[in-house]
Amino acid sequence: MQFRTNRFATEMAPAAEIIYETLRELATLKPDDSSVGGEFLDDLAADREIFKIIITNRSQHSIPTALWSSSYFLFIDQL
């Protein structure tokens, strides 16, 4: 498993090895509507070898098309 945000990433490792640093990062996250967040999604779309779970506050129409076939989305406004 690997955890990534536009400002943080863990190494690919068993979940038990990265869970605490991942939880620390999740506790400090704030929504990012800047262009950096969009570039981050574009970079994820280019990586087609992994399955992604993406938690986002972006609207569905702003998600790069290439991500839909290799990702599962949780839209914050729908939770």
Closest to 21 (Cα-Cα) out of 8, 7, 6, 32: 8
**According to the model, what pLDDT value does residue 78 have?**
85
Identify the residue with better confidence: 61 or 36.
61
Is pLDDT at 15 greater than 90 in this prediction?
yes
60 touches 75 (CB < 8 A): yes
pLDDT at 35: 64
Q: pLDDT tens, 18-37?
A: 999 999 999 998 877 676 66
What are the sequence ranges of the domains in the chain?
Answer: 31-78
